[in-house]
Each structure stands twice: as structure tokens, then as C-alpha cells.
């Protein structure tokens, strides 16, 4: 609770600075929103352009516009898109679940693969299995997600024809189809993550396995499988879990390319399209949402970090 | 519609048509096609490779992959590209559409008649047609749409309609009153201005009207997830008896050309739309896929800003035109054997295409080009203010599409050969158009032409009063000819006027050409009838012009 | 963007968790035991395997290409030759030709320059600025530290992708802009890495000993702390270079990398996408170059990091 009280003003300040900087930044962009709204033909009429600019208060000084935007934003109104006329809040509400689902699925896949692999690798550290796993994860780390995406489309969609190359079906519309459309983009993101997780878990697990409690358990004759998954996994997965937590914040960034290649209606694609098409008000809104999620997730991770691990609490007290 | 013999291997088991948007000039086009077709088995120009059609069957659902999403669906605020127009023809009916001979004919309207001096156009509606929400389509509805939406402040269409008023004559008749003669006004009514939507539904939806379109079309809007899918369902009360055949259409924007083609290959989508020649060629070669191609009056061009040195000097522009081998540009775009080189805005298939203009167009001649450019370079009074002997430099902008990036690099190399130093810049569509309007550029790759009557096409591009005259190239003779074109309905007279304008334009080199735009619909063989649509009175339609079709006439056997 | 945010988790991988001053147990129990500061690092060099030297060799080759591409006996990378369009490997074009008929070998060699310049300068900026700030506040501590780290947190919360895309769209796509922006955006990560390592080093015996012997703070900072902080930060920088190279590829796919005709690996991959079926070599060649380089950077960085590691050892 004390943590929250200290951090809250800090978080709000961060968001204010970030949103103002974004506001400033987007005004740098060339291109008149009025021309965007009216289209090349409509923009020929100077009166119409003036009317639209007036309506959007584009000629007001920057601070005035920022304060007006902020006032609306606090009440949940991020304005209406210059390009589509859609409410920005609604647009983000539509896109965010797509990106989140891909991200959560990617992390799930990565964990499901990396926990057994990392454990096996640590248990037989230096052995043949460990070498293969370590080598493979090194290789996979060097494959960018866009290469992976192109490769997956080529193999799974075009060659084997197992999955649709593009498209998105909402979870609420048809869960099976939803999974079929989500699995390839999730895989493209998951493979690199899996390599990271495997390596992290292997390292921590090796340390854990050298501890006295494990030696004791072994001496007592507890079966290996039980030692690994019941006794060693929990203490070894702490740093893994924290990285996974942080990763949630990275998803939005990581998904941009993948969403583009798989034609998914996610938040990353919305952001890129809006920047490229000069839909400044949409850029504003999306940037704010990304900043909020980053700040909040960082805070939660920090909080968990202190709450969960006594070593840290102790360490903080010592250094603070 | 002429059937052109072909030597493609699959021809024996397939019907192979050449679909022509407008009357074909037999001497100029048909013969040329055959000669070129012999060399490598490919046919130059638009061909359509279509399986046996059979009888229409009712029922079924298809998915259509489009090259772009549309910002919103309400005429007046929506900006409809080819992709958007394609979707619109499921939900709305156009008052007018072009027939197989290139003439505008009433579709949703019953008739349209101009007065003698072409300043008043009287439009009659068909009786007993209602929108999907049961609002009747009558003169009052048209008037409300016209005044409250199309001419509203901030409407995309307002500038175009500034000089037009609508007057109600009776319950089903209105007149459009123009401030000056316009022989091509009917043409406007084929565009968003002429797609009636329910004024009651639009008023009820307010700001969200653009995401809940209600028209009179063969399909009723069902749902829309932006950038993902738009679903329309069969309109059971459609005014054309027996239509539509399909129960449902799903439209999906898939902007990436490669993934859209993969999706057709894997069967994720049933119909694909594209305007890229390289994609058209790839679709042609797919097994089990029908392809409908048309060459429209849209051509790839480079536009030069004729008010900015060094491009304000006609010698430089002519040198740049003569430095380029159009065949190589088409080759690297993958269009060899498909897209004929172009010499004017109008494609070889169009009635306004002029042989004389084509013959007069600058041919590839690097030596002449170097001489012309050297003349400028060594001119002590050269317009860019540099010392004689210094190289000519300018910037060339193009959007970052892979095939355009390749093209831009080839241009840079051609122009480099004759001694012009060209800086390439990739620029997003929005900025690209913005800069073209404001004149803040030197040279850009663009598309010219509108797939419409030559009057709006040329007026927009070269009239001295047009805000969309991107090249800033003007000539009093062009303006005079445009005025004459506006008051003329005689096809031969109009052709002569258009030829004169094209000649003046080409002599001034405000732009160079790189091949007509091929519009393509590729479909699974199970989807039929994309080119089969007709007017209510039975006249044959313009097929898949601009990669659009009338979805009410499409059926599936799959 | 795929790689911007992951820069973060790379930092986390290096400092254990990066969020705070508590480095966690590190990757290799063996290396932890062996790593005891500067002397330890030197002592381990003999035990690096052939794979390590292969990776170093590849990186040296890439760096050499980046510097010397113009003087190598190669075809012009930018002159189109439409006749050779999409040709497969042949005696004229050992690695085939691209969609404009340009020699792929020459293009990947010249593209190495972009990768070298972007990755070295972006990482250089981040490392120098972030490293100095991180080391300074990690050593000085107190109110300065709190303030600076708060500012760093704000910068880290700023959606870097937005900044990058907006700047590229506004200012244009030059090599300089891309390097500067990526460098600037990565400052927070280096600050954290450097600070975490400084904190760790500051608590070790030889630092305490120096204090006790009455050495001046500046002397301790320059003689004891910095020499021990630079190696792990530099090892992290190698891994980060790989991420920058991947980021360039992502930008190229979005059409936001440097202007043609100058080749980049990412640009070549993006340009090859329409030709995957008919000419897969146009995609394979630049992909392989990028893959091998990133792999080598990761491998070398990781190996060095393990030998330099100061964590846990002296506490």
C-alpha cells in the first residue's frame, strides 16, 4: 500500500509527460487532417477546409488543444478518428483484445514448451539433450519474428494447407476458428520467446539443483521427476515468471510486424496505419494506451517482485 | 464484346474472352494483340480466363479479399477506392452505370434526360423501391441525401457539387440544376453521389452512419469489424426479381499483395481483387482459378511539377521521357505480355484512345535524351540557377510498395544514364497526395485517369482552375477544348477534342507513362457470373471494370 | 516493433531481472564460479571453443565488408540489369540476381555497411550515454539517483515505436536518423544495466578495501568501478547490436528503412517477398546473412558476458 502511494503520483506524471510529448510529436507530421477528412477532391474548397479546421480546433494554440484533449481523455473520450470517423475509444476496444489474445497465446505456447525443455536441459546439463536444446534455442533467438512469420505462412498455409494464411475470427464468434486464425501469429511470436525462457529456466534450475535441499531430497530417494517438478521448479521459476510478466508489456510492440503480415486487426496495425495515414488523433489515443499498459504492468511486476521474494525485500531494506 | 482467338494451352477446355470496357477499335487493338500473342503464348492486354459458367444456382456464401479497407461507408464522408466501390455495389445500387459500350445507362434510376444546353438533368426513379429499412426511395429521399449529406460542410463530395442544386419535380422525379453545361454529368451519378442510402437510417445513426450503411442493394449490411471483415446478407425484398443468388458475402481487406494471393491459393478467400499487374499475372497462372481482367483508363505515370526548376524546362522533361524504356519498366513490374505500354491516359481499349497521339509520343532514345539534357545543362540561363555544366538534380517520390520501389530504382538508373542525378524518397500515400495537391514536390509516381468520361478526367488533371492539377501544366487551348467538351454530346466531336487535349499535353511532357493499370478479379472456379450482370432492361453491363462487379448476379456452385 | 521492446528483455536477461538492483543467479553455474573480476576474465579466454572463434570470424568478416565494400572487386550493387532479373546462382552472379537483375553477392556485402553503421552507432550512443549516467548514479546514489532513474522510467514508458515511426515519417529515412533514434530509445536500458552492475561492483571487497585505505571517490570510480562495469555492459551491447539489426529488418518490411537503391539486408528481404515462389534465393541470401550475424553477436556476447560476470561472485 505504501508502495502504491509512492508510485501513483509518479505513474500519473509519467503518463502526462508521455501524452504531451506524443501530442507535440504528432503535430510535427506533415499533412493537414482537414485534407485527410475531405479527401483530395473535397479539399479543393478552401471554405470547407477552414470549416473542418475550425471544427477540430486545429488553429488553436498547442497547449489549449492539449488541455482540451486531456480533459476529454480523462472522461474516456479520446475523440473521433480523422480517417474513419470511428470513436478512438471504440477502435482501441475492438483491437486490443486481438493483440492481447495473440500475446497470451504466444506466452502460453512458449511456457508449455520451455518448462520441460529447460528442466531437461538443466537436469542433464552438459549432456547431449542439453547441447541440442541450448544450440537450438541459440539458433531460434537469431530468427527475427518476421522471418518466422513468412516461413510459417509458407510451410503451414501454402505448403501443407493446414491453417489459413490470414484473417481473424473473434473468440466470441467461433472459438475453433478463432484458434485456427490465432495459432500461426502466436507461434511466430512464441518461438523466440521460448528460446529466451528455456535459457532462463535452465540457468536458474542449475543453481537450484546444487542446493542442499535438493541433495537432501535425492538422498531420501524421492523420484527424480518429483524432485524436478515439485521441489526444483518452483524456486527456479521466479525470474522466468518476472520476465514473462514484463513480456506482456512488450507484446504490443512485438505484434506490429506480425499483425501486418497476418492481416490481423490488432492494436499494432492500428498504430502503424494511423501514423502512415496521418490519423493523428488515433495515434494519440493508441500511444496513450500503450504507455498506460507499460506503466501499469511495470508497476505490477515491481510489486509482485517485492511481495513474492523475501530476498528482495531484505535486499531493498538493506540498500534503501 | 469480341472474342479473341488465343494460343494459350488451356484455351481448348476453357472459354477465353477478351472483355472490353468500351467499344473496341478493331483495327488498332485486335490485330496487334494476335501478333504479340504468338511469341510466348501470352496474350498482351486484358484477357479473361473463365471456366464453363452454367446456370445460376441460389444459396451459398463467398469471401472476397480486397486490397484496402474503406474509411467509412456513407456516400459524402466515405472515400471509395476500387475496393470500397466493390463493397458498395453489394449494399447500394448506383443510379447510373456504364454499359458494355461505355455509355452511362440508368440502373437504379429509370431514366435520365438532359435539357438542350446540358445544364439541367432530369432523373426519374423506379416506383416501389425501398431501402433495407423500408424507407421508400423517392424524390424527397434523394433531396435529403443531396442537401443534408452530399453538400454538407465537411463532405467529401461538397466541392464537386458546389455548383449543383436539386429540385423536386414530383414524387419520383428530380432535376439537377447545373451552373454551367456538363455533358458528363450522368457520369457523376455512377459514383458515390449516385448511391442512394436511407436518409432515415443515416439520421438515426448520427455520427455512426458510416459504419451502419443502409441502401437499396441486393445485400443487407450485417456487421463490420474494421480491417478484418464486413458481412452482408441476402436482401429478401430486392427490387430485381430473382436476385441475388448468394445468401452471404464476407469482404476482407488484405492489404499485402502476397498474402492475398496466398489466401486465394489456399482457399481462404473465394474472390481476389487487385490492381497490380504482377499480381494479375500470378493469378492468371493459378490452377483452378478464373481470372477476369480489364484494362481501364487508368495508367501509371510519373508526374513532374512544371513550376519547379529544373523540371519547369520542357527540354528536361522531354529528356526524362525519352530516357526511359517503358518495356523494361513493365518487365520488372511483371507485366510483360499483359500490360501494353501506354502513351496517353486512355487505354487501347477505350473509344477515346488516339492512334495519332500514340504515334507522336516520345520513343525511347537515350542519345536524343542526353542531347536535350546537355542542352539544358550547358545553358548559362538554365532555370535552376546552377552554373552551366553542373548536373541536373531532383527528387522522385513513390509509395513504399515493393513493386513501386523496384520501379523507382529503375527510373533512377535510366535517368542517371543521361546525366540526371535523382534522389529517391519513399513516401506514404497520405503525404504523397497532400504534396501533390500543395505542389510541394518535384517528381512523383502516380496513377492518372479515372475510369470515367474524359471530361472529368482531363478537367481534373489539366484545367487551369482545377485544384487537382498536380503537374501545374496549363494551356489556354486546353481550357477552351475542355469547355467545348462540356457542351458536346457528339462522340466524334468529343473524340477530336480529346485528341487535341492529349496532343497538347504530350507535347509539354508534364508526365510520362508506364503502362495501363490492369484491374483483376480472380475467383475460385466455383464462383460464377462476375461478368454476367445486366441492366434491369436487359442491356449488357461493363463486366468487371475497375475490378468491381454487381454482386447480385454472382452465384456459387461450391 | 519487434525489437524495440525486446531490447528491454535483453537487458533483463543480462542483469538477471533489470528491474532493480538485485541481479539474480546467472546462467551458468560454472562460469559464475570462474568469474572473479578482471583477472578471472582473462584467465578464461583460453577455454573458448571453436564455435566462439567461428562466430568472431564471421563478425570480423561482416565488419570488414562494411568498411571495405566499395574497394572489393564486386559488381555495382545499384545498377539494374533487367535481363538478369531473378536469375538463380550462376557464374556471373554467384548468389543470383534480384528483381532488378542486380548481383546479390555485391548487394549483401554492401548491405553489411548499413547493418554495421546502424548497429554500432545506435548501440554506441545508448552505451555511452546510458552507461555514463547509469554508472554515475549507481555510484553517487541518493537523491540524484532517484531523480535520474525516475526520468529514465518516463523515457522507458514512452512508446518508442511511436517516436520512431513519427520521426521517420517526418524527417525522412536516413541512416543517421534511424541510428540516432534507436540509440536514444535504448538509453534507459543501458542506464539500468550500468547502474545494476555498478551497484554490484561497489559492494565488492576491493572497493571496500579502497575506501578503507582512504582512496578518493573519483579514483575509486575510475580505477575500480568503471573497469569492472564496462565489460558486462559491452557484452550486453553485442547482443543489443543483433536486436538493432533485426529492428532495421522490421522497419524495412514496413517500408521505413533507408531509401533505395542502397541495399540493406532487411530491405532485400522485404523486396524478395513477392518472388518467394519463383526465386527463393532472393529471400534466402539476405536472410542467411542476417541470421548468421545475429547468431554470432548473440553467441559472442553471451560467451563474453559469462566470462565477465561480476554477479554473486564477491558478495
DSSP character string of B6-27: ---GGGGGSEEE---SS---II
Nearest chain C Cα distance for residue B105, angstroms: 40
Name chain A contacts of C199, Cβ cutoff 8 Å. Answer: 319
Torsion of CA C165, C168, C171, C174, to 10 degrees: 160
Residue A40 CA to residue A198 CA, distance in Å, equals 53
Structure confidence at residue A320 as a pLDDT band (50, 70, 90)? very low
CB contact under 8 A, A17 and C287: no
Name chain C contacts of B425, Cβ cutoff 8 Å. Answer: 172, 259
Name chain C contacts of A146, Cβ cutoff 8 Å. Answer: 2, 249-250, 253, 269
User: What does the mean pLDDT of chain B come to?
Assistant: 85
CB contact under 8 A, C158 and A147: no
Cis omega (within 30 of 0) for bond into A172: no
- Residues B173-201 as b/e (b if ≥16 CB within 10 A, e otherwise) read bbbbebeebbbbbbbbbbbbbbbbbbbbb
- pLDDT for the residue A168: 85
The answer to whether residue B336 neighbours chain C at the CB level (below 8 Å) is no
- pLDDT for the residue C15: 35
CB contact under 8 A, B405 and C260: yes
**Mean pLDDT across the stretch A61-70?**
87
Torsion of CA B33, B329, B397, B507, to 10 degrees: -60
Name chain C contacts of A118, Cβ cutoff 8 Å. Answer: none
- pLDDT for the residue C247: 85
Query: Got the DSSP string for C73-133?
Result: S---SS---GGGTT--S-SSSTT-B-TT--BHHHHHHHHHHHHHHHHHHHHHHIIIIIHHH
Q: Name the strand (E) or helix (H) holding B233.
A: strand B229-234
Q: Which residue of B has its CA nearest to C255?
A: B400
Angle, CA B342 vertex, CA B338 and CA B347 arms, to 5°: 80
Nearest chain B Cα distance for residue A35, angstroms: 7
Contact A192, A145 (CB under 8 A): yes
Nearest chain C Cα distance for residue A13, angstroms: 9
CB contact under 8 A, B332 and C79: no
**Proportion of chain A above pLDDT 70, given as a percent:** 88
**Cα→Cα distances C13→A75, A112, A247, B92, C23, Å:** 39, 20, 12, 57, 10
Hey, of C81, C98, C100, which one would you mutate to test binding to chain B, going by the most B CBs within 10 A of its CB? C100
CB contact under 8 A, C3 and A144: yes
Looking at the partner chain, which of A36, A42, A167 has a beta carbon nearest the beta carbon of B155? A42
Name chain B contacts of C169, Cβ cutoff 8 Å. Answer: 428, 431
- pLDDT for the residue B312: 92
The answer to whether residue A29 neighbours chain C at the CB level (below 8 Å) is yes
Looking at the partner chain, which of B409, B428, B431 has a beta carbon nearest the beta carbon of C100? B409
The answer to whether residue B171 neighbours chain C at the CB level (below 8 Å) is no
Q: Which residue of A has its CA nearest to B254?
A: A263
- Residues B13-30 as b/e (b if ≥16 CB within 10 A, e otherwise) read ebebbbbbbbebbeeebb
Q: Which residue of B has its CA nearest to A277?
A: B430
CB contact under 8 A, C169 and B424: no
Return residues 242-261 of B near C (CB < 8 Å). 257-258
Q: What is the pLDDT along chain C (315 residues), one digit of tens a residue?
A: 333 333 333 333 333 333 333 333 333 333 333 333 333 334 444 467 888 899 999 999 999 998 888 888 888 888 888 888 888 888 888 888 888 889 999 999 999 988 888 889 999 998 999 989 988 888 888 888 888 888 887 777 776 777 777 777 777 777 888 888 888 888 888 888 888 888 888 887 888 888 888 888 888 888 888 888 888 788 888 888 888 888 888 888 888 888 888 899 999 998 888 888 788 889 899 999 999 999 999 888 888 877 765 443 332
The answer to whether residue C273 neighbours chain B at the CB level (below 8 Å) is yes
The answer to whether residue A271 neighbours chain C at the CB level (below 8 Å) is yes
CB contact under 8 A, B257 and C100: no
More confident residue, A314 or C251: C251
- pLDDT for the residue A1: 59
Other CB atoms within a 10 A radius of the CB of residue B38 amount to 10
Residue C67, phi-psi category: left (phi > 0), alpha (psi -120 to 50), beta (remainder): alpha
CA nearest to C253, candidates C265, C241, C239: C265
Hey, of A122, A142, A189, which one would you mutate to test binding to chain C, going by the most C CBs within 10 A of its CB? A142
CB contact under 8 A, C157 and A18: yes
CB contact under 8 A, C250 and A257: yes
From the number of C-beta atoms within 10 Å of its C-beta (0-12, 13-18, 19+), residue C145 rates as middle
Angle, CA B428 vertex, CA B426 and CA B429 arms, to 5°: 125
CB contact under 8 A, A41 and B228: no
Q: Crossing angle, helix A33-42 and helix A46-55, to 10 degrees?
A: 150
The pLDDT tens digits of the residues spanning A221-251 come to 888 778 777 777 777 776 676 677 666 656 6
User: What does the mean pLDDT of chain A come to?
Assistant: 80
Residues paired with residue B201 on neighbouring β-strands, in sequence order: none
- pLDDT for the residue B89: 95
Strands B15-17 and B48-50, bridge-based pairing: antiparallel
Q: Name the strand (E) or helix (H) holding A319.
A: helix A310-319
The answer to whether residue C81 neighbours chain B at the CB level (below 8 Å) is no
What letter does residue A274 receive in the DSSP assignment? H
Q: What is the pLDDT along chain B (558 residues), one digit of tens a residue?
A: 333 333 333 332 233 332 222 222 222 333 333 333 333 434 566 777 788 888 899 999 999 999 888 888 999 888 888 899 999 999 999 999 988 888 899 999 999 999 988 999 999 999 999 999 999 999 999 999 999 999 888 788 888 888 899 999 999 999 999 998 988 899 889 889 999 999 999 999 988 888 999 999 999 999 998 888 999 999 999 999 889 999 999 999 988 888 888 889 888 899 999 988 888 888 888 888 999 988 877 888 999 999 998 999 999 999 999 999 998 998 888 887 778 888 888 888 788 889 899 888 888 999 999 999 999 999 888 888 888 889 999 999 998 888 888 899 999 999 999 999 999 988 887 788 888 888 889 999 988 877 788 888 888 889 988 888 899 999 999 999 999 998 888 889 999 999 999 999 999 999 998 888 888 999 999 999 998 899 999 899 888 888 899 999 999 997
Residue B201 CA to residue B221 CA, distance in Å, equals 12
Nearest chain C Cα distance for residue A50, angstroms: 24
Contact A213, A234 (CB under 8 A): no
Q: Which three cell numbers stand for residue A295?
A: 506503466
The answer to whether residue C76 neighbours chain B at the CB level (below 8 Å) is no
Return residues 399-458 of B near C (CB < 8 Å). 399-403, 405-406, 408-410, 412-413, 423-426, 428, 431
CB contact under 8 A, B413 and C169: no
Nearest chain A Cα distance for residue B2, angstroms: 36
CA nearest to C265, candidates C248, C279, C243, C278: C248
CB contact under 8 A, A166 and B254: yes
Residue B85 CA to residue B160 CA, distance in Å, equals 18
Other CB atoms within a 10 A radius of the CB of residue C156 amount to 21
- pLDDT for the residue A245: 66
Hey, of B227, B441, B470, which one would you mutate to test binding to chain A, going by the most A CBs within 10 A of its CB? B227
Nearest chain C Cα distance for residue A65, angstroms: 19
CA nearest to C12, candidates A146, A301, A121, A122: A301
Q: Which three cell numbers stand for residue A231?
A: 521441489
Q: Which residue of C has its CA nearest to A273?
A: C254
Nearest chain B Cα distance for residue C202, angstroms: 50
Contact B434, A30 (CB under 8 A): yes
Query: Got the DSSP string for A151-171?
Result: HHIIIIIIIS--S-SS----T
Other CB atoms within a 10 A radius of the CB of residue A314 amount to 11
ipTM of the complex: 0.80
Looking at the partner chain, which of C269, C287, C299 has a beta carbon nearest the beta carbon of A138? C299
Amino acid at each position: 500500500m505504501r508502495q502504491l502511494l509512492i508510485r501513483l503520483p509518479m505513474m500519473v506524471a509519467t503518463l502526462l509527460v508521455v501524452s504531451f510529448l506524443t501530442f507535440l510529436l504528432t503535430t510535427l507530421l506533415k499533412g493537414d487532417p482537414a485534407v485527410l477528412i475531405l479527401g483530395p477532391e473535397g479539399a479543393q474548397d478552401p471554405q470547407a477546409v477552414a470549416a473542418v479546421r475550425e471544427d477540430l480546433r486545429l488553429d488553436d494554440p498547442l497547449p489549449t488543444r492539449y488541455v482540451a484533449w486531456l480533459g476529454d481523455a480523462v472522461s474516456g473520450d479520446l475523440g473521433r478518428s480523422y480517417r474513419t470517423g470511428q470513436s478512438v475509444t471504440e477502435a482501441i476496444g475492438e483491437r486490443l483484445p486481438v493483440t492481447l489474445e495473440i500475446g497470451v497465446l504466444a506466452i502460453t505456447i512458449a511456457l508449455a514448451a520451455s518448462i520441460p525443455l529447460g528442466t531437461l536441459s538443466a537436469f542433464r546439463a552438459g549432456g547431449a539433450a542439453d547441447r541440442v536444446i541450448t544450440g537450438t534455442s541459440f539458433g531460434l533467438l537469431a530468427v527475427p519474428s518476421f522471418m518466422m512469420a513468412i516461413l510459417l505462412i509458407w510451410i503451414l498455409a501454402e505448403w501443407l494447407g493446414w491453417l489459413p494464411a490470414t484473417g481473424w475470427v473473434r473468440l466470441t464468434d467461433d472459438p475453433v476458428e478463432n484458434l485456427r486464425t490465432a495459432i500461426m501469429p502466436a507461434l511466430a511470436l512464441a518461438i523466440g520467446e521460448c528460446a529466451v525462457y528455456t535459457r532462463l529456466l535452465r540457468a536458474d534450475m542449475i543453481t537450484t539443483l546444487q542446493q542442499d535441499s535438493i541433495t537432501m531430497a535425492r538422498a531420501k530417494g524421492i523420484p527424480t521427476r518429483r524432485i524436478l517438478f515439485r521441489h526444483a521448479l518452483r524456486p527456479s521459476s521466479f525470474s522466468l515468471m518476472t520476465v514473462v510478466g514484463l513480456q506482456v508489456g512488450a507484446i504490443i510492440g512485438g505484434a506490429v510486424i506480425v499483425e501486418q503480415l497476418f492481416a490481423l486487426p490488432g492494436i499494432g496495425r492500428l498504430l502503424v496505419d494511423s501514423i502512415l495515414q496521418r490519423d493523428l488523433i488515433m495515434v494519440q489515443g493508441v500511444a496513450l494506451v500503450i504507455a498506460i499498459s507499460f506503466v501499469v504492468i511495470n508497476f505490477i511486476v515491481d510489486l509482485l517482485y517485492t511481495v513474492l521474494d523475501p530476498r528482495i525485500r531484505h535486499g531493498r531494506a538493506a540498500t534503501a | 464484346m469480341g472474342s479473341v482467338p488465343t494460343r494459350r494451352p488451356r484455351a481448348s477446355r476453357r472459354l477465353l474472352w477478351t472483355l472490353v470496357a468500351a467499344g473496341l477499335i478493331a483495327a488498332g487493338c485486335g490485330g496487334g494483340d494476335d501478333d504479340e500473342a504468338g511469341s510466348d503464348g501470352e496474350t498482351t492486354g486484358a484477357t479473361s480466363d473463365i471456366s464453363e459458367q452454367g446456370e445460376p444456382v441460389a444459396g451459398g456464401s463467398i469471401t472476397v479479399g480486397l486490397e484496402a479497407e474503406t474509411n467509412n461507408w456513407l456516400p459524402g464522408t466515405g472515400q471509395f477506392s476500387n475496393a470500397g466501390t466493390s463493397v458498395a455495389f453489394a449494399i447500394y445500387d448506383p443510379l447510373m452505370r456504364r454499359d458494355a459500350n461505355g455509355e452511362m445507362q440508368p440502373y437504379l434510376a429509370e431514366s435520365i434526360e438532359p435539357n438542350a444546353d446540358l445544364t439541367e438533368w432530369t432523373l426519374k426513379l423506379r416506383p416501389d423501391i425501398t431501402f433495407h429499412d423500408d424507407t421508400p426511395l423517392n424524390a424527397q429521399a434523394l433531396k435529403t441525401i443531396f442537401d443534408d449529406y452530399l453538400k454538407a460542410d465537411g463532405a467529401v463530395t461538397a466541392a464537386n457539387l458546389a455548383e449543383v442544386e436539386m429540385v423536386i419535380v414530383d414524387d419520383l422525379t428530380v432535376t439537377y440544376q447545373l451552373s454551367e453545361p456538363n455533358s458528363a454529368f450522368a457520369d457523376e451519378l455512377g459514383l458515390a453521389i449516385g448511391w442512394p442510402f436511407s436518409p432515415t437510417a443515416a439520421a438515426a445513426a448520427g455520427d455512426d452512419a458510416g459504419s451502419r450503411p443502409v441502401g437499396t442493394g441486393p445485400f443487407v449490411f450485417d456487421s463490420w469489424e474494421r480491417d478484418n471483415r464486413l458481412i452482408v446478407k441476402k436482401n429478401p425484398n430486392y427490387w430485381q426479381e430473382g436476385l441475388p443468388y448468394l445468401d452471404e458475402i464476407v469482404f476482407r481487406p488484405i492489404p499485402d499483395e502476397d498474402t492475398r494471393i496466398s489466401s486465394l491459393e489456399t482457399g481462404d478467400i473465394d474472390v481476389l481483387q487487385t490492381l497490380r499487374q504482377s499480381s494479375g499475372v500470378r493469378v492468371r497462372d493459378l490452377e483452378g482459378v478464373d481470372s477476369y481482367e480489364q484494362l481501364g483508363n487508368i495508367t501509371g505515370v510519373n508526374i513532374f511539377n512544371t513550376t519547379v526548376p529544373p523540371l519547369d524546362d520542357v527540354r528536361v522533361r522531354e529528356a526524362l521521357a525519352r530516357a526511359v524504356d517503358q518495356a523494361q519498366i513493365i518487365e520488372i513490374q511483371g507485366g510483360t505480355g499483359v500490360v501494353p505500354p501506354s502513351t496517353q491516359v486512355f487505354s487501347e481499349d477505350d473509344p477515346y484512345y488516339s492512334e495519332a497521339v500514340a504515334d507522336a509520343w516520345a520513343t525511347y532514345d537515350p542519345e536524343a535524351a542526353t542531347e536535350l539534357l546537355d542542352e539544358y545543362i550547358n545553358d548559362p540561363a538554365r532555370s535552376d540557377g546552377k552554373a552551366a555544366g553542373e548536373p541536373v538534380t531532383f527528387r522522385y517520390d513513390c509509395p513504399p510498395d515493393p513493386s513501386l520501389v523496384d520501379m523507382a530504382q529503375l527510373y533512377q538508373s535510366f535517368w542517371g544514364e543521361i546525366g540526371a542525378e535523382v534522389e529517391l524518397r519513399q513516401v506514404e500515400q497520405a503525404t504523397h497526395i497532400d504534396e501533390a495537391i500543395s505542389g510541394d514536390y518535384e517528381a512523383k509516381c502516380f496513377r492518372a485517369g479515372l475510369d470515367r468520361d474524359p471530361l472529368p478526367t482531363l478537367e481534373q488533371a489539366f484545367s487551369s482552375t482545377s485544384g487537382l492539377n498536380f503537374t501545374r501544366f496549363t494551356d489556354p487551348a486546353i481550357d477552351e477544348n475542355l469547355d467545348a467538351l462540356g457542351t458536346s454530346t457528339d462522340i466524334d466531336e468529343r473524340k477530336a477534342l480529346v485528341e487535341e487535349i492529349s496532343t497538347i499535353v504530350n507535347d509539354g511532357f508534364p508526365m510520362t507513362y508506364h503502362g495501363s493499370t490492369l484491374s483483376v478479379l480472380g475467383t475460385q472456379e466455383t464462383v460464377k457470373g462476375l461478368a454476367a450482370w445486366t441492366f434491369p432492361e436487359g442491356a449488357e453491363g461493363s463486366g468487371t471494370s475497375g475490378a468491381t462487379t454487381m454482386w447480385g448476379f454472382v452465384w456459387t456452385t461450391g | 516493433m519487434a525489437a524495440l521492446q525486446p531490447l528491454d528483455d535483453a537487458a533483463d536477461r543480462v542483469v538477471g531481472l533489470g528491474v532493480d538492483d538485485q541481479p539474480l543467479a546467472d546462467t551458468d553455474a560454472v562460469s559464475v564460479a570462474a568469474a572473479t573480476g578482471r583477472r578471472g576474465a582473462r584467465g578464461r579466454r583460453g577455454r573458448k571453443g571453436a564455435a566462439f572463434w567461428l562466430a568472431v570470424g564471421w563478425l570480423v568478416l561482416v565488419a570488414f565488408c562494411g568498411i571495405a565494400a566499395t574497394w572489393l572487386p564486386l559488381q555495382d550493387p545499384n545498377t539494374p540489369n533487367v535481363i538478369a532479373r531473378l536469375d538463380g546462382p550462376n557464374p556471373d552472379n554467384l548468389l543470383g540476381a534480384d528483381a532488378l537483375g542486380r548481383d546479390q553477392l555485391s548487394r549483401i556485402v554492401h548491405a553489411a555497411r548499413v547493418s554495421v553503421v546502424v548497429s554500432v552507432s545506435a548501440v554506441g550512443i545508448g552505451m555511452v550515454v546510458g552507461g555514463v549516467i547509469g554508472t554515475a548514479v549507481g555510484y553517487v546514489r541518493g537523491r540524484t539517483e532517484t531523480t535520474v532513474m525516475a526520468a529514465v522510467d518516463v523515457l522507458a514508458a514512452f512508446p518508442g515505436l511511436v517516436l520512431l515511426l513519427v520521426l521517420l515519417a517526418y524527417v525522412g529515412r536516413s541512416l543517421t536518423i534511424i541510428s540516432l533514434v534507436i540509440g536514444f530509445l535504448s538509453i534507459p536500458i543501458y542506464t539500468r544495466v550500468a547502474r545494476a552492475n555498478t551497484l554490484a561492483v561497489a559492494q565488492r571487497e576491493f572497493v571496500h578495501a579502497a575506501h578503507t585505505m582512504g582512496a578518493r571517490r573519483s579514483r575509486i570510480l575510475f580505477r575500480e568501478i568503471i573497469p569492472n562495469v564496462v565489460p558486462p555492459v559491452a557484452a550486453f551491447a553485442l547482443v543489443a547490436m543483433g536486436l538493432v539489426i533485426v529492428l532495421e529488418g522490421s522497419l524495412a518490411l514496413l517500408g521505413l528503412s533507408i531509401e533505395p537503391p542502397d541495399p540493406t539486408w532487411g530491405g532485400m528481404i522485404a523486396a524478395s517477398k513477392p518472388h518467394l515462389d519463383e526465386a527463393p534465393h532472393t529471400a534466402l541470401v539476405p536472410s542467411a546473412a542476417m541470421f548468421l550475424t545475429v547468431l554470432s553477436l548473440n553467441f559472442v556476447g553471451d560467451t563474453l558476458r559469462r566470462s565477465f560476470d561480476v554477479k554473486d561472485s564477491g558478495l
